[in-house]
Chain A
Amino acid sequence: MNKRPVTIAVTGLNNIDSPGPGIPVIRSIRESKMFEPRVIGLAYENLEPGIYMHHLVDKTYMVPYPSQGSDALIERVLEIHRSEHFDVLIPNFDAELHAFIKSAPLLRSEGIATMLPTMAQFEERHKSNLPEFGKKYGVNIPRSVPVSNTREMEDAANKYKFPIMVKGKYYDAYIARNMHEAEAFFFKVSAKWGYPVIIQEFIEGTELNVVALGDGTGTTVGAVPMRKTYITDKGKAWGGITIEEPRLLEITRKIIRQTKWRGGMELEMIKSSDGTLYIIEINPRIPAWVYLATGAGQNQPEALLKLALGMETVPFTDYEVGKMFIRYSYDLIIGIKEFEQLTMNGAL
């Protein structure tokens, strides 16, 4: 079968100890039997390892952080598009999604397809909106409240009892066992991610995650559940295994059906000691462990690419249970000339 040439732009090349999903997404798409991809990396930092993985990323351009204004980011992406003509953009950072979702019609008019959730879907599942989300869609969510100062946090802590979870708006989550710890985490998280900080009731149990893909009409195109088998000090999975837990898939399908979710998604859940499943986070993008789903038989990044291109996409019906991933670190050696080229020209 002749492969279809496609040019994709991908962010999240920070394949570090708390990795972005860019490299696993690219690996998955490169394994596609359907597409012959040309991959344009979009990087925020000149030391993102993916920039230098030339067997995966054909060319990389530096782009400004969304915090510098979404207009600057979109203008830069369109400028790159005028030279590289990419067909599909796959953003992989929570912090950039707002800008890309807002600009999706503009990108589309310029010939760039995306497969992103709608702004309503994106906003509804925000950490600060999760309790309302749970009520609306009939799923269990731990109690949580957004706070902007330590007094509000103290009120929440008194209500939930310690330990509590202290979470950043986009990333980072810490277990605080007393007010002293809670305050330290509050300042740490707010300094990095701004306000509000989310205070969430702590549910004791096993963390289980699902990587899923919705087609925007309510159909779940793919869903693979995983249990982390090794967790780093940042709470990220360094190892994981696919599991057979039908209730996780039921909850995932229920959410995608009811929200008509469009694009990639990661559901983070806790299974408490009595077996109750709580959703603790809904990430509106493909997670960094997506390559496990690919290895288990669901190449969800390829399916997302097909959906973005408007191609017919048959939902996955199965995956291999007991498939494991183990991350590793690897030192790339690069010449100073490469680094110079990227730094001086903003492209490599």
Chain B
Amino acid sequence: MIRLHKNVALSDSGYVFDPATGESYTLNPIGLEIVQMLRQNMTDDEIQGRILDRYQVDASSLERYYMDFIGSLVQFELADNE
């Protein structure tokens, strides 16, 4: 289960600010959608299911890109993999 850090600020434009480090990041629209779903405490399966419903992507490609993206969030200390 991926948990986005509570104090991470996320704007509708896809701008992410981590107040603990002062670092900021930009997300593309899909990244923003995923992070917004993480913020709603949705599980990995729920998020991937939602993306599969909305976009033309096969499940294995999505999983690969999704895990890569989640890995980046953890690496940048924006989220924890619980």
A residues touching B (Cβ–Cβ < 8 Å)? Answer: 206, 226-227, 229, 240-245, 321-322
Contact = CB atoms under 8 A, between A and B. Distances in A.
A284 to B, nearest CB: 25
Interface in B1-38: 7, 9, 17, 19-22
A322 B19 CA distance: 6
B20 A243 contact: yes
A244 B20 CA distance: 5
A206 B9 contact: no
A322 B17 contact: yes
Binding site of A, secondary structure by majority: helix, strand, loop or mixed? strand
15 contacts: A206-B21, A226-B22, A229-B22, A240-B22, A241-B22, A242-B22, A243-B19, A243-B20, A244-B19, A244-B20, A245-B20, A245-B21, A321-B19, A322-B9, A322-B19
A205 B9 CA distance: 24
A68 B60 CA distance: 75
B65 to A, nearest CB: 27
Contacts of B17: 322
Contacts, number: 22
A227 B21 CA distance: 7
Contacts of A321: 19
Binding site of B, secondary structure by majority: helix, strand, loop or mixed? loop
User: Which of A229, A242, A244 has the most chain B CB atoms closer than 10 A to its own CB?
Assistant: A244
Contacts of B22: 226-227, 229, 240-243, 322
A323 to B, nearest CB: 10
Range for the number of chain B residues in contact with chain A: under 10
Contacts of A229: 22
* 5 A-B pairs closest in CB distance: A244-B19, A241-B22, A227-B22, A243-B22, A321-B19
Nearest to B19: A244
Contacts of A243: 19-22
A321 B7 CA distance: 11
B46 to A, nearest CB: 30
A113 to B, nearest CB: 36
A47 B24 CA distance: 38
Contacts of B7: 244
B6 to A, nearest CB: 11
Contacts of A206: 21
A206 B22 CA distance: 11
B18 to A, nearest CB: 9
Contacts of A226: 22
A229 B21 CA distance: 10
B13 to A, nearest CB: 15
B29 to A, nearest CB: 23
Contacts of A240: 22
Contacts of B21: 206, 227, 243, 245
